Amino acid sequence: MGHIKNWRSLSGQRMAVGLIVVLIMTFAIGVDSLVSAENPNTLIINADQGTETISRHIYGHFSEHLGHCIYGGYWVGEDSPIPNVRGIRTDVVEALKKINIPNLRWPGGCFADEYHWRDGIGPRSERPKMINTHWGGVTEDNSFGTHEFMDLCEQLGTEPYICGNVGSGTVEEMSKWVEYLNFDGISPMAEERRKNGQEKAWGVKYWGVGNENWGCGGNMTPEFYADQYRRYATYCRNYGDSRLLKIAGGPSDEDYNWTEVLMKKIGPRGMWGMSMHYYTTNWSNKGSATVFDERAYFDVLARCFKIPKAIDKHMNIMDKYDPEKRVALVIDEWGTWFDVEPGTNPGFLFQQNTIRDALVAGIHLNEFNKRCERVRMANIAQTINVLQALIFTEDEKMILTPTYHVFEMYKVHHDATLLPADLRCVDYTLDDDKLPALNVSASKDKEGKIHISLCNLDPNKSAKLDCELRGTKVKKVSGRVLTASAINAHNTFEKPDVVKPAEFKDVKLSGSTLTMTLPAKSVVVLEVE
Protein backbone atom coordinates (compact mmCIF):
# COMPACT_ATOMS: atom_id res chain seq x y z
CA MET A 1 0.00 0.00 0.00
CA GLY A 2 2.99 2.15 0.63
CA HIS A 3 3.48 2.78 -3.05
CA ILE A 4 -0.22 3.69 -3.31
CA LYS A 5 0.23 6.18 -0.52
CA ASN A 6 3.31 7.48 -2.27
CA TRP A 7 1.45 7.64 -5.51
CA ARG A 8 -1.37 9.50 -3.77
CA SER A 9 1.01 11.97 -2.12
CA LEU A 10 2.89 12.39 -5.42
CA SER A 11 -0.31 12.97 -7.24
CA GLY A 12 -1.36 15.37 -4.47
CA GLN A 13 1.90 17.25 -4.89
CA ARG A 14 1.43 17.32 -8.65
CA MET A 15 -2.09 18.61 -8.23
CA ALA A 16 -0.89 21.24 -5.80
CA VAL A 17 1.86 22.34 -8.21
CA GLY A 18 -0.65 22.31 -11.06
CA LEU A 19 -3.04 24.40 -9.02
CA ILE A 20 -0.31 26.91 -8.23
CA VAL A 21 0.65 27.09 -11.92
CA VAL A 22 -2.99 27.61 -12.89
CA LEU A 23 -3.36 30.26 -10.17
CA ILE A 24 -0.20 32.06 -11.30
CA MET A 25 -1.34 31.93 -14.93
CA THR A 26 -4.82 33.14 -14.05
CA PHE A 27 -3.33 35.90 -11.96
CA ALA A 28 -0.89 36.81 -14.73
CA ILE A 29 -3.59 36.81 -17.38
CA GLY A 30 -5.82 38.70 -14.98
CA VAL A 31 -3.13 41.32 -14.36
CA ASP A 32 -2.37 41.54 -18.05
CA SER A 33 -6.01 41.92 -18.97
CA LEU A 34 -6.44 44.40 -16.11
CA VAL A 35 -3.54 46.44 -17.49
CA SER A 36 -4.96 46.13 -20.98
CA ALA A 37 -8.45 47.05 -19.88
CA GLU A 38 -7.11 49.93 -17.86
CA ASN A 39 -4.58 51.19 -20.35
CA PRO A 40 -4.09 49.53 -23.72
CA ASN A 41 -1.06 51.75 -24.46
CA THR A 42 2.11 50.26 -23.01
CA LEU A 43 5.75 50.66 -23.86
CA ILE A 44 8.67 48.60 -22.58
CA ILE A 45 12.17 49.91 -23.17
CA ASN A 46 15.16 47.70 -22.49
CA ALA A 47 17.66 50.32 -21.46
CA ASP A 48 20.58 47.90 -21.10
CA GLN A 49 20.23 46.13 -24.43
CA GLY A 50 21.10 48.43 -27.34
CA THR A 51 23.87 47.48 -29.76
CA GLU A 52 23.42 49.66 -32.87
CA THR A 53 24.30 53.35 -33.27
CA ILE A 54 21.83 55.79 -34.79
CA SER A 55 24.11 57.65 -37.20
CA ARG A 56 23.69 61.40 -36.95
CA HIS A 57 23.70 61.34 -40.75
CA ILE A 58 20.11 60.07 -40.65
CA TYR A 59 19.34 63.69 -39.76
CA GLY A 60 20.85 65.01 -43.01
CA HIS A 61 19.49 67.57 -45.46
CA PHE A 62 19.12 68.09 -49.17
CA SER A 63 19.31 71.44 -50.96
CA GLU A 64 18.94 71.75 -54.70
CA HIS A 65 19.12 74.59 -57.19
CA LEU A 66 15.33 74.68 -57.17
CA GLY A 67 12.99 77.61 -56.53
CA HIS A 68 14.21 79.64 -53.58
CA CYS A 69 16.17 76.96 -51.78
CA ILE A 70 19.63 78.18 -52.79
CA TYR A 71 18.89 81.66 -54.14
CA GLY A 72 17.08 83.68 -51.48
CA GLY A 73 17.24 80.72 -49.10
CA TYR A 74 20.96 80.43 -48.40
CA TRP A 75 22.46 82.82 -50.92
CA VAL A 76 21.72 86.54 -51.03
CA GLY A 77 25.10 87.72 -52.35
CA GLU A 78 27.75 89.81 -50.64
CA ASP A 79 26.12 93.13 -51.53
CA SER A 80 22.72 92.26 -50.05
CA PRO A 81 21.31 94.38 -47.20
CA ILE A 82 20.28 91.07 -45.61
CA PRO A 83 22.97 90.18 -43.03
CA ASN A 84 25.34 87.67 -44.59
CA VAL A 85 28.82 86.26 -44.43
CA ARG A 86 30.40 86.19 -47.89
CA GLY A 87 26.91 86.14 -49.44
CA ILE A 88 25.42 83.42 -47.19
CA ARG A 89 22.50 84.43 -44.93
CA THR A 90 23.48 84.65 -41.28
CA ASP A 91 19.97 83.96 -39.89
CA VAL A 92 19.69 80.70 -41.82
CA VAL A 93 23.16 79.52 -40.79
CA GLU A 94 22.39 80.27 -37.15
CA ALA A 95 19.07 78.41 -37.29
CA LEU A 96 20.59 75.34 -38.95
CA LYS A 97 23.54 75.27 -36.56
CA LYS A 98 21.07 74.90 -33.70
CA ILE A 99 19.92 71.57 -35.08
CA ASN A 100 23.48 70.35 -35.74
CA ILE A 101 22.87 69.51 -39.35
CA PRO A 102 25.24 66.61 -40.00
CA ASN A 103 25.43 66.67 -43.81
CA LEU A 104 24.11 68.59 -46.77
CA ARG A 105 23.41 67.04 -50.17
CA TRP A 106 23.89 69.34 -53.20
CA PRO A 107 23.42 70.45 -56.05
CA GLY A 108 20.50 68.11 -56.81
CA GLY A 109 18.25 66.18 -57.36
CA CYS A 110 17.42 66.35 -61.03
CA PHE A 111 19.52 69.50 -61.31
CA ALA A 112 22.68 67.49 -60.52
CA ASP A 113 22.54 65.54 -63.77
CA GLU A 114 22.44 68.77 -65.79
CA TYR A 115 24.98 70.66 -63.71
CA HIS A 116 28.47 71.26 -65.05
CA TRP A 117 30.59 72.21 -62.09
CA ARG A 118 33.15 74.23 -64.05
CA ASP A 119 30.39 76.78 -64.78
CA GLY A 120 30.24 77.51 -61.04
CA ILE A 121 33.89 78.42 -60.32
CA GLY A 122 36.03 81.49 -60.97
CA PRO A 123 34.96 85.16 -60.87
CA ARG A 124 31.19 85.30 -60.52
CA SER A 125 30.74 87.92 -63.18
CA GLU A 126 32.39 85.64 -65.74
CA ARG A 127 30.45 82.48 -64.96
CA PRO A 128 28.29 81.22 -67.83
CA LYS A 129 24.53 81.09 -67.37
CA MET A 130 22.32 78.06 -67.99
CA ILE A 131 18.62 77.22 -68.06
CA ASN A 132 17.30 75.28 -65.09
CA THR A 133 15.08 73.16 -67.33
CA HIS A 134 13.74 70.97 -64.53
CA TRP A 135 12.70 73.70 -62.18
CA GLY A 136 10.71 76.51 -63.74
CA GLY A 137 12.92 77.08 -66.80
CA VAL A 138 14.62 79.97 -65.00
CA THR A 139 18.10 81.24 -65.75
CA GLU A 140 20.73 79.91 -63.40
CA ASP A 141 23.62 82.37 -63.21
CA ASN A 142 25.91 79.97 -61.36
CA SER A 143 26.74 82.56 -58.72
CA PHE A 144 26.42 79.80 -56.12
CA GLY A 145 28.96 77.13 -57.08
CA THR A 146 31.55 74.85 -55.56
CA HIS A 147 33.40 77.44 -53.44
CA GLU A 148 30.16 78.97 -52.15
CA PHE A 149 28.79 75.52 -51.26
CA MET A 150 31.96 74.57 -49.42
CA ASP A 151 31.90 77.90 -47.58
CA LEU A 152 28.28 77.21 -46.59
CA CYS A 153 29.23 73.75 -45.25
CA GLU A 154 32.08 75.27 -43.25
CA GLN A 155 29.83 77.96 -41.80
CA LEU A 156 27.29 75.29 -40.86
CA GLY A 157 29.93 72.87 -39.56
CA THR A 158 28.40 70.14 -41.72
CA GLU A 159 29.71 67.39 -44.04
CA PRO A 160 29.25 68.11 -47.73
CA TYR A 161 27.57 65.41 -49.80
CA ILE A 162 28.07 66.18 -53.48
CA CYS A 163 26.03 64.54 -56.20
CA GLY A 164 27.90 64.20 -59.50
CA ASN A 165 26.52 64.37 -63.02
CA VAL A 166 26.16 60.97 -64.67
CA GLY A 167 23.09 61.76 -66.81
CA SER A 168 24.58 64.45 -69.06
CA GLY A 169 28.15 64.73 -67.81
CA THR A 170 31.29 62.76 -68.47
CA VAL A 171 33.57 60.50 -66.47
CA GLU A 172 36.36 63.06 -66.92
CA GLU A 173 34.18 65.89 -65.61
CA MET A 174 33.30 64.05 -62.42
CA SER A 175 36.80 62.75 -61.93
CA LYS A 176 38.20 66.30 -62.21
CA TRP A 177 35.63 67.65 -59.75
CA VAL A 178 36.93 65.13 -57.18
CA GLU A 179 40.50 66.17 -57.97
CA TYR A 180 39.58 69.89 -57.70
CA LEU A 181 38.04 69.40 -54.26
CA ASN A 182 40.33 66.78 -52.79
CA PHE A 183 43.86 66.88 -54.22
CA ASP A 184 46.48 68.78 -52.24
CA GLY A 185 49.55 68.27 -54.47
CA ILE A 186 50.55 69.74 -57.81
CA SER A 187 47.97 69.09 -60.51
CA PRO A 188 45.95 71.17 -63.00
CA MET A 189 42.78 70.99 -60.86
CA ALA A 190 44.54 71.74 -57.58
CA GLU A 191 46.28 74.73 -59.21
CA GLU A 192 43.00 76.03 -60.54
CA ARG A 193 41.39 75.71 -57.10
CA ARG A 194 44.26 77.68 -55.57
CA LYS A 195 43.92 80.35 -58.27
CA ASN A 196 40.25 80.60 -57.26
CA GLY A 197 41.17 81.30 -53.67
CA GLN A 198 41.24 77.92 -51.91
CA GLU A 199 44.71 76.79 -50.95
CA LYS A 200 43.92 73.58 -49.09
CA ALA A 201 41.95 70.68 -50.48
CA TRP A 202 38.57 70.27 -48.79
CA GLY A 203 38.57 66.46 -48.72
CA VAL A 204 34.91 65.83 -49.54
CA LYS A 205 33.99 62.28 -48.52
CA TYR A 206 30.40 61.71 -49.62
CA TRP A 207 29.88 61.45 -53.38
CA GLY A 208 26.66 60.54 -55.12
CA VAL A 209 27.25 58.95 -58.49
CA GLY A 210 24.22 60.42 -60.26
CA ASN A 211 20.66 60.99 -59.08
CA GLU A 212 17.45 59.13 -60.01
CA ASN A 213 19.17 57.61 -63.02
CA TRP A 214 16.02 55.58 -63.68
CA GLY A 215 14.31 58.94 -64.43
CA CYS A 216 15.55 62.53 -64.67
CA GLY A 217 19.15 61.29 -64.33
CA GLY A 218 19.19 59.68 -67.78
CA ASN A 219 16.22 57.27 -67.98
CA MET A 220 18.59 54.31 -67.71
CA THR A 221 17.87 50.66 -67.12
CA PRO A 222 19.34 49.30 -63.87
CA GLU A 223 21.79 47.15 -65.86
CA PHE A 224 23.05 50.13 -67.86
CA TYR A 225 23.27 52.34 -64.76
CA ALA A 226 25.18 49.69 -62.79
CA ASP A 227 27.79 49.57 -65.56
CA GLN A 228 27.95 53.36 -65.70
CA TYR A 229 28.35 53.50 -61.94
CA ARG A 230 31.31 51.12 -62.06
CA ARG A 231 32.94 53.23 -64.76
CA TYR A 232 32.37 56.61 -63.07
CA ALA A 233 33.30 55.29 -59.64
CA THR A 234 36.59 53.92 -60.97
CA TYR A 235 37.84 57.42 -61.80
CA CYS A 236 36.64 59.06 -58.59
CA ARG A 237 40.00 58.69 -56.87
CA ASN A 238 41.04 58.80 -53.26
CA TYR A 239 43.59 61.57 -52.70
CA GLY A 240 45.70 61.92 -49.58
CA ASP A 241 43.89 60.66 -46.52
CA SER A 242 40.41 61.17 -47.84
CA ARG A 243 38.57 57.95 -48.60
CA LEU A 244 35.56 58.54 -50.80
CA LEU A 245 32.24 57.15 -49.63
CA LYS A 246 30.53 56.56 -52.96
CA ILE A 247 26.76 56.35 -53.11
CA ALA A 248 25.09 54.63 -56.05
CA GLY A 249 21.85 56.08 -57.39
CA GLY A 250 19.38 53.60 -56.00
CA PRO A 251 15.70 52.79 -56.40
CA SER A 252 12.58 54.81 -55.99
CA ASP A 253 9.74 53.60 -53.80
CA GLU A 254 9.03 49.92 -54.44
CA ASP A 255 11.38 49.32 -57.39
CA TYR A 256 12.94 46.18 -55.94
CA ASN A 257 14.40 45.06 -59.27
CA TRP A 258 16.63 48.17 -59.33
CA THR A 259 18.04 47.19 -55.92
CA GLU A 260 18.51 43.57 -56.97
CA VAL A 261 20.45 44.50 -60.12
CA LEU A 262 22.67 47.09 -58.36
CA MET A 263 23.48 44.75 -55.51
CA LYS A 264 24.30 41.97 -57.95
CA LYS A 265 26.31 44.01 -60.49
CA ILE A 266 28.08 46.51 -58.23
CA GLY A 267 28.28 44.40 -55.09
CA PRO A 268 29.07 45.31 -51.51
CA ARG A 269 32.69 46.24 -52.22
CA GLY A 270 31.85 48.61 -55.04
CA MET A 271 29.86 51.20 -53.10
CA TRP A 272 29.67 52.67 -49.61
CA GLY A 273 25.95 53.25 -49.93
CA MET A 274 22.95 52.91 -52.19
CA SER A 275 20.40 55.68 -52.23
CA MET A 276 16.62 55.31 -52.12
CA HIS A 277 13.96 57.98 -52.67
CA TYR A 278 10.47 57.84 -51.21
CA TYR A 279 8.17 60.85 -51.03
CA THR A 280 5.06 60.85 -48.84
CA THR A 281 2.66 61.81 -51.58
CA ASN A 282 -0.25 60.69 -53.65
CA TRP A 283 1.13 61.46 -57.12
CA SER A 284 -2.30 61.53 -58.76
CA ASN A 285 -3.76 63.98 -56.23
CA LYS A 286 -1.15 65.65 -54.05
CA GLY A 287 -3.60 67.92 -52.26
CA SER A 288 -3.07 71.17 -50.43
CA ALA A 289 -0.46 71.56 -47.70
CA THR A 290 -2.86 73.58 -45.53
CA VAL A 291 -6.45 73.20 -46.74
CA PHE A 292 -7.42 69.63 -45.92
CA ASP A 293 -9.90 67.57 -43.92
CA GLU A 294 -9.34 64.65 -41.57
CA ARG A 295 -9.47 62.15 -44.44
CA ALA A 296 -6.52 63.84 -46.15
CA TYR A 297 -4.72 64.09 -42.78
CA PHE A 298 -5.25 60.35 -42.21
CA ASP A 299 -4.16 59.39 -45.74
CA VAL A 300 -0.89 61.30 -45.51
CA LEU A 301 -0.03 59.67 -42.17
CA ALA A 302 -1.05 56.26 -43.54
CA ARG A 303 1.40 56.77 -46.40
CA CYS A 304 4.24 57.22 -43.87
CA PHE A 305 3.94 53.53 -43.07
CA LYS A 306 4.60 52.49 -46.66
CA ILE A 307 8.20 53.64 -46.43
CA PRO A 308 9.28 51.30 -43.59
CA LYS A 309 7.66 48.42 -45.46
CA ALA A 310 9.53 49.32 -48.65
CA ILE A 311 12.79 49.87 -46.75
CA ASP A 312 12.46 46.42 -45.17
CA LYS A 313 12.00 44.79 -48.56
CA HIS A 314 14.96 46.65 -50.06
CA MET A 315 17.02 45.67 -47.01
CA ASN A 316 16.07 42.01 -47.45
CA ILE A 317 17.42 42.11 -50.99
CA MET A 318 20.56 43.87 -49.78
CA ASP A 319 21.03 41.21 -47.08
CA LYS A 320 21.04 38.52 -49.76
CA TYR A 321 24.12 40.03 -51.45
CA ASP A 322 25.61 41.74 -48.41
CA PRO A 323 24.87 39.80 -45.22
CA GLU A 324 27.57 41.77 -43.39
CA LYS A 325 25.66 44.98 -44.02
CA ARG A 326 28.62 46.84 -45.51
CA VAL A 327 26.44 48.87 -47.86
CA ALA A 328 24.48 51.69 -46.24
CA LEU A 329 20.93 52.41 -47.34
CA VAL A 330 20.85 56.16 -47.90
CA ILE A 331 17.33 57.62 -48.02
CA ASP A 332 18.60 60.81 -49.60
CA GLU A 333 15.21 62.22 -50.60
CA TRP A 334 12.15 61.89 -48.39
CA GLY A 335 9.28 64.01 -47.11
CA THR A 336 5.88 65.38 -48.09
CA TRP A 337 5.11 66.68 -51.58
CA PHE A 338 1.89 68.69 -51.85
CA ASP A 339 0.47 71.08 -54.45
CA VAL A 340 2.41 74.34 -54.61
CA GLU A 341 0.91 77.28 -52.74
CA PRO A 342 -1.63 79.12 -54.91
CA GLY A 343 -0.05 81.87 -56.98
CA THR A 344 3.50 80.52 -56.72
CA ASN A 345 5.64 79.19 -59.60
CA PRO A 346 4.65 75.51 -60.12
CA GLY A 347 8.31 74.72 -60.87
CA PHE A 348 9.46 76.07 -57.50
CA LEU A 349 7.72 73.44 -55.34
CA PHE A 350 6.91 75.84 -52.51
CA GLN A 351 4.47 74.39 -49.97
CA GLN A 352 3.43 75.33 -46.42
CA ASN A 353 4.22 73.09 -43.47
CA THR A 354 1.76 72.10 -40.72
CA ILE A 355 1.60 69.97 -37.59
CA ARG A 356 0.76 67.12 -40.04
CA ASP A 357 4.25 67.56 -41.58
CA ALA A 358 5.73 67.50 -38.08
CA LEU A 359 4.11 64.10 -37.50
CA VAL A 360 5.37 62.87 -40.89
CA ALA A 361 8.89 63.91 -39.88
CA GLY A 362 8.58 62.36 -36.41
CA ILE A 363 7.33 59.02 -37.76
CA HIS A 364 9.97 58.84 -40.53
CA LEU A 365 12.82 59.62 -38.17
CA ASN A 366 11.57 57.03 -35.66
CA GLU A 367 11.38 54.42 -38.41
CA PHE A 368 14.86 55.33 -39.74
CA ASN A 369 16.28 55.14 -36.20
CA LYS A 370 14.84 51.66 -35.78
CA ARG A 371 16.57 50.54 -38.99
CA CYS A 372 19.92 52.20 -38.22
CA GLU A 373 21.75 48.94 -38.76
CA ARG A 374 21.41 49.57 -42.50
CA VAL A 375 19.93 53.07 -42.80
CA ARG A 376 23.01 55.17 -42.11
CA MET A 377 22.10 58.37 -43.88
CA ALA A 378 18.92 60.21 -44.88
CA ASN A 379 18.23 63.65 -46.33
CA ILE A 380 14.92 65.43 -46.05
CA ALA A 381 13.79 67.27 -49.19
CA GLN A 382 14.49 70.16 -49.01
CA THR A 383 15.90 72.44 -46.33
CA ILE A 384 14.58 75.89 -47.33
CA ASN A 385 11.47 77.07 -49.21
CA VAL A 386 11.04 73.80 -51.15
CA LEU A 387 8.83 70.75 -50.39
CA GLN A 388 8.97 69.71 -46.69
CA ALA A 389 11.12 72.67 -45.71
CA LEU A 390 12.52 73.46 -42.28
CA ILE A 391 12.88 77.15 -42.98
CA PHE A 392 10.98 79.75 -44.99
CA THR A 393 12.54 83.02 -46.07
CA GLU A 394 10.96 86.07 -47.63
CA ASP A 395 13.39 88.90 -48.32
CA GLU A 396 14.93 89.69 -44.93
CA LYS A 397 12.37 87.61 -42.96
CA MET A 398 12.91 84.03 -41.84
CA ILE A 399 10.64 81.60 -39.96
CA LEU A 400 10.94 78.04 -38.71
CA THR A 401 8.43 75.37 -39.67
CA PRO A 402 6.96 72.58 -37.48
CA THR A 403 9.34 70.19 -39.30
CA TYR A 404 12.32 72.26 -38.12
CA HIS A 405 11.12 71.86 -34.54
CA VAL A 406 10.98 68.07 -34.88
CA PHE A 407 14.60 67.99 -36.12
CA GLU A 408 15.58 70.21 -33.21
CA MET A 409 13.78 68.00 -30.67
CA TYR A 410 15.12 64.76 -32.18
CA LYS A 411 18.77 65.85 -32.36
CA VAL A 412 19.27 64.02 -29.04
CA HIS A 413 19.27 60.79 -31.07
CA HIS A 414 22.38 61.78 -33.08
CA ASP A 415 25.02 59.04 -32.68
CA ALA A 416 23.16 57.55 -29.70
CA THR A 417 22.60 53.83 -29.15
CA LEU A 418 19.24 52.55 -30.34
CA LEU A 419 17.29 50.90 -27.54
CA PRO A 420 14.80 48.07 -28.13
CA ALA A 421 11.30 49.41 -27.54
CA ASP A 422 8.16 47.27 -27.47
CA LEU A 423 5.04 49.37 -28.02
CA ARG A 424 1.45 48.18 -27.78
CA CYS A 425 -1.18 50.75 -28.58
CA VAL A 426 -4.70 51.42 -29.73
CA ASP A 427 -5.56 52.31 -33.29
CA TYR A 428 -6.40 55.68 -34.71
CA THR A 429 -9.49 54.90 -36.79
CA LEU A 430 -11.27 56.85 -39.48
CA ASP A 431 -14.32 55.25 -41.13
CA ASP A 432 -13.17 51.68 -41.79
CA ASP A 433 -9.46 52.50 -41.81
CA LYS A 434 -7.00 52.27 -38.99
CA LEU A 435 -3.40 53.07 -38.09
CA PRO A 436 -1.41 52.46 -34.91
CA ALA A 437 -2.13 55.64 -32.96
CA LEU A 438 1.36 55.85 -31.48
CA ASN A 439 4.84 55.64 -32.92
CA VAL A 440 8.14 55.57 -31.02
CA SER A 441 11.89 55.18 -31.00
CA ALA A 442 14.32 55.34 -28.08
CA SER A 443 18.05 55.77 -27.64
CA LYS A 444 20.75 56.18 -25.01
CA ASP A 445 23.35 58.90 -25.50
CA LYS A 446 27.04 58.88 -24.56
CA GLU A 447 26.26 60.35 -21.11
CA GLY A 448 23.76 57.58 -20.42
CA LYS A 449 20.67 59.76 -20.85
CA ILE A 450 17.73 58.01 -22.47
CA HIS A 451 15.58 59.79 -25.04
CA ILE A 452 12.18 58.60 -26.16
CA SER A 453 10.52 60.23 -29.16
CA LEU A 454 6.79 59.63 -29.41
CA CYS A 455 4.13 60.61 -31.92
CA ASN A 456 0.40 60.54 -31.22
CA LEU A 457 -1.22 60.46 -34.65
CA ASP A 458 -4.81 60.70 -33.47
CA PRO A 459 -5.99 64.26 -34.08
CA ASN A 460 -8.96 63.90 -31.71
CA LYS A 461 -7.83 61.84 -28.74
CA SER A 462 -5.02 62.18 -26.26
CA ALA A 463 -3.32 58.91 -25.32
CA LYS A 464 -2.45 57.71 -21.85
CA LEU A 465 0.77 55.70 -22.06
CA ASP A 466 2.55 53.60 -19.42
CA CYS A 467 6.23 53.17 -20.16
CA GLU A 468 8.43 50.77 -18.22
CA LEU A 469 12.19 51.22 -18.39
CA ARG A 470 13.97 47.95 -17.77
CA GLY A 471 17.63 47.52 -16.94
CA THR A 472 18.18 50.98 -15.49
CA LYS A 473 17.43 53.13 -12.48
CA VAL A 474 15.42 56.23 -13.31
CA LYS A 475 15.92 59.39 -11.29
CA LYS A 476 14.15 62.02 -13.27
CA VAL A 477 12.24 62.71 -16.42
CA SER A 478 11.58 65.84 -18.43
CA GLY A 479 10.15 66.43 -21.86
CA ARG A 480 9.07 68.73 -24.66
CA VAL A 481 5.96 68.64 -26.80
CA LEU A 482 5.01 69.96 -30.21
CA THR A 483 1.26 70.13 -30.80
CA ALA A 484 -1.41 72.45 -32.13
CA SER A 485 -5.10 73.15 -31.89
CA ALA A 486 -5.93 72.32 -35.51
CA ILE A 487 -4.66 69.65 -37.92
CA ASN A 488 -3.57 72.33 -40.38
CA ALA A 489 -1.91 74.68 -37.87
CA HIS A 490 1.21 76.30 -39.32
CA ASN A 491 3.58 79.20 -38.92
CA THR A 492 3.50 82.29 -41.11
CA PHE A 493 5.66 85.41 -41.35
CA GLU A 494 2.86 87.24 -39.52
CA LYS A 495 2.42 84.52 -36.86
CA PRO A 496 5.72 82.63 -36.69
CA ASP A 497 5.11 80.83 -33.36
CA VAL A 498 1.74 79.12 -33.83
CA VAL A 499 3.46 75.72 -33.75
CA LYS A 500 6.49 75.60 -31.50
CA PRO A 501 7.78 73.27 -28.79
CA ALA A 502 6.72 73.70 -25.17
CA GLU A 503 7.63 72.00 -21.92
CA PHE A 504 5.85 68.65 -21.53
CA LYS A 505 4.51 68.38 -18.01
CA ASP A 506 2.09 65.52 -18.30
CA VAL A 507 4.52 62.78 -17.30
CA LYS A 508 4.99 61.17 -13.88
CA LEU A 509 7.67 58.83 -12.64
CA SER A 510 6.96 55.98 -10.26
CA GLY A 511 9.84 53.53 -9.74
CA SER A 512 10.94 52.75 -13.26
CA THR A 513 7.56 53.42 -14.84
CA LEU A 514 6.59 56.61 -16.60
CA THR A 515 2.93 57.44 -16.92
CA MET A 516 2.05 60.15 -19.38
CA THR A 517 -0.72 61.58 -21.48
CA LEU A 518 0.28 62.47 -25.01
CA PRO A 519 -1.90 65.21 -26.47
CA ALA A 520 -3.79 64.57 -29.69
CA LYS A 521 -1.64 65.18 -32.86
CA SER A 522 1.58 65.65 -30.99
CA VAL A 523 5.27 64.89 -31.06
CA VAL A 524 6.85 64.44 -27.61
CA VAL A 525 10.51 63.86 -26.75
CA LEU A 526 11.34 62.70 -23.23
CA GLU A 527 14.70 62.81 -21.50
CA VAL A 528 15.18 60.22 -18.79
CA GLU A 529 18.13 60.28 -16.41
Helix (H, G, I), strand (E, B) or coil at 337: coil
Residue nearest to ligand AHR (CB): 109
Contact 175, 237 (CB under 8 A): yes
Backbone φ and ψ for 411, nearest 5 degrees, come out as -65, -15
Which of these ranges, 52-60, 104-112, 417-425, 462-470, lies near ligand AHR under the rule CB under 6 A?
A: 104-112
Helix (H, G, I), strand (E, B) or coil at 120: helix
Min dist CB 211 to ligand AHR, Å, is: 5
By CB under 6 A, what part of segment 26-65 binds ligand AHR?
64
By CB under 6 A, what part of segment 423-462 binds ligand AHR?
none
Nearer to ligand AHR by Cβ, of 72 and 215: the residue is: 215
Bond from prior residue into 267 cis (ω within 30 degrees of 0): no
Min dist CB 269 to ligand AHR, Å, is: 27
Spatial neighbors of 271 by CB under 8 A, at least 6 apart, are: 229, 233, 246, 247, 248, 262, 327
Which of these ranges, 5-13, 108-116, 462-470, 497-505, lies near ligand AHR under the rule CB under 6 A?
A: 108-116
Cα separations (Å) of 387 from 60, 97, 103, 208, 372?
A: 15, 21, 18, 21, 25
Cα separations (Å) of 75 from 63, 68, 90, 93, 496?
A: 12, 9, 10, 11, 22
Bond from prior residue into 107 cis (ω within 30 degrees of 0): yes
Min dist CB 526 to ligand AHR, Å, is: 33
Contact 33, 424 (CB under 8 A): no
Cα separations (Å) of 215 from 64, 109, 157?
A: 17, 11, 32
Nearer to ligand AHR by Cβ, of 43 and 330: the residue is: 330
Nearer to ligand AHR by Cβ, of 322 and 332: the residue is: 332
- Which helix (H) or strand (E) segment holds residue 455: the answer is strand 450-456
The catalytic residue among 114, 159, 179, 333 is: 333
Min dist CB 215 to ligand AHR, Å, is: 7
The catalytic residue among 159, 212, 367, 408 is: 212
- Indicate if 212 belongs to the active site: yes
Contact 408, 451 (CB under 8 A): no
Distance CA 307, CA 293 (A): 23
Per-residue DSSP letter, 119: G
Nearer to ligand AHR by Cβ, of 349 and 523: the residue is: 349
Burial (CB < 10 A; 0-12, 13-18, 19+), residue 51, is exposed
- Indicate if 154 belongs to the active site: no
Chain centre to alpha carbon of residue 420 = 20
Min dist CB 134 to ligand AHR, Å, is: 7
Nearer to ligand AHR by Cβ, of 211 and 456: the residue is: 211
Cα separations (Å) of 238 from 149, 153, 184, 241?
A: 21, 21, 11, 8
Nearer to ligand AHR by Cβ, of 64 and 466: the residue is: 64
Buried b (16+ CB within 10 A) or exposed e, 326-365: ebbbbbbbbbbbbebeeeeeebbbbbbbbbbbbbbbbbbb
Min dist CB 179 to ligand AHR, Å, is: 26
Contact 43, 358 (CB under 8 A): no
Residue 109 touching ligand AHR (CB under 6 A): yes
Q: Please give the size of the binding site for ligand AHR, defined by CB under 6 A.
A: 10
Nearer to ligand AHR by Cβ, of 249 and 287: the residue is: 249
Contact pattern for ligand AHR over residues 296 through 335, marking x by CB under 6 A: -------------------------------------x--
Which of these ranges, 85-93, 106-114, 367-375, 514-522, lies near ligand AHR under the rule CB under 6 A?
A: 106-114
Min dist CB 366 to ligand AHR, Å, is: 22
Contact pattern for ligand AHR over residues 140 through 179, marking x by CB under 6 A: ----------------------------------------
Q: Find, among 196, 200, 175, 186, the residue nearest to 126 by Cα.
A: 196
Contact pattern for ligand AHR over residues 331 through 370, marking x by CB under 6 A: --x-------------------------------------
Which of these ranges, 121-129, 190-198, 380-388, 452-460, lies near ligand AHR under the rule CB under 6 A?
A: 380-388
By CB under 6 A, what part of segment 210-249 binds ligand AHR?
211-212
Q: Residue numbers of the site for ligand AHR (CB under 6 A)?
A: 64, 108-110, 211-212, 333, 381-382, 387
Known catalytic residues?
212, 333
